[in-house]
């Protein structure tokens, strides 16, 4: 089902600024038995991006009502919430725009995710590099062209996902998820002040690590740092947590921290 501002719809206006300029943001959520997982964190990350873009926040109580009309009641499914600045205003100036458009769509849970969670998946190494954009880094705004290009590169290589580095050859994320790895007793993940998306599940994992007194290093890392890891996993809101069994030619075993975090996420 598709909703635009709470009403069933099959299309949006050509004047919508998300279509014209990628002017908005979105989040993709897992539902379990009709309930959105980590809903407050999704609202928090949407508000942060809306504020940066100077788009007015919606009535979240109303948005939640709309979401509840499309959520599947089965064990696991997905729903995407997309907010654009709205319609109007020729050119980049947003001064002639009316009001934001809230679009909601549901989707079937990708069942191959279960295999990835149990057995892991292989990452390629993307040759294309992410640019730096500190103004919008960390936010899931509607312009995702870099991710489209990197994912297409992995599709051509017949790989499910790929490790994305930036123009300084720093590890940032994968084409679809945040990345973590353990080296010794320290859990490591890239900092995202210049590029990448700070996912909801990434935030969940970092809070869990702090609560369990697990040392975490959020910093700048090269590919060699990841390849030297004892275990590697990726995370996003719908996938949850999946171990990485191979990056390029380097193989990894499914590790103890990965399994612990999977138990936490699935509890």
Catalytic residue annotation: 28, 140, 173
Q: Which two tokens stand for residue 1?
A: 């089902």
Nearest to 258 by CA among 224, 225, 235: 235
CB 233 within 8 A of CB 241: yes
Q: How far is CA 188 from its chain centroid?
A: 18
Extract the runs of DSSP E, i.e. beta strands, from 33-88: 35-36, 76-84
**CA geometry: angle 113, 118, 124, nearest 5 deg:** 65
Q: Locate tokens 């990448």: which residue?
A: 196
In sequence order, which residues have a C-beta less than 8 Å from that of residue 40 and are 6 or more positions away? none
d(CA 11, CA 137): 29
Q: Please work out, in degrees rounded to the nearest 5, the angle formed at the alpha carbon of residue 61 by the alpha carbons of 76 and 27.
A: 45
């Amino acid at each position: 089902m598709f909703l635009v501002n709470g009403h069933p719809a099959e299309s949006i206006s050509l004047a919508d600024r998300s279509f014209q300029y990628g002017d908005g943001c979105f989040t993709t959520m897992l539902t379990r038995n009709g309930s959105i997982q980590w809903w407050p964190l999704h609202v928090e990350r949407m508000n942060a991006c809306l504020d940066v873009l100077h788009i007015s926040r919606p009535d979240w109580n109303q948005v939640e009502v709309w979401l509840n009309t499309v959520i599947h009641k089965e064990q696991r499914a997905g729903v995407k919430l997309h907010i654009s600045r709205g319609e109007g205003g020729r050119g980049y100036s947003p001064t002639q725009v009316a009001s934001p458009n809230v679009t909601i769509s549901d989707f079937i849970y990708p069942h191959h995710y279960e295999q990835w969670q149990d057995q892991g998946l292989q990452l390629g190494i993307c040759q294309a590099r992410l640019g730096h954009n500190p103004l919008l880094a960390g936010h899931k705004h509607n312009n995702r062209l870099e991710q489209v290009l990197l994912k297409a590169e992995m599709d051509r290589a017949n790989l499910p996902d790929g490790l994305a580095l930036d123009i300084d050859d720093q590890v940032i994320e994968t084409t679809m998820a945040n990345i973590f790895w353990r080296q010794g007793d320290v859990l490591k993940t890239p900092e995202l002040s210049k590029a990448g998306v700070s996912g909801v599940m990434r935030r969940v994992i970092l809070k869990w690590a702090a609560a369990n007194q697990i040392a975490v290093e959020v910093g700048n890392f090269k590919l060699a740092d990841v390849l030297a890891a004892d275990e590697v996993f990726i995370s996003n809101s719908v996938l949850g947590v999946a171990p990485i069994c191979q990056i390029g030619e380097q193989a990894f075993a499914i590790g103890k921290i990965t399994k612990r975090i999977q138990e936490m996420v699935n509890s």
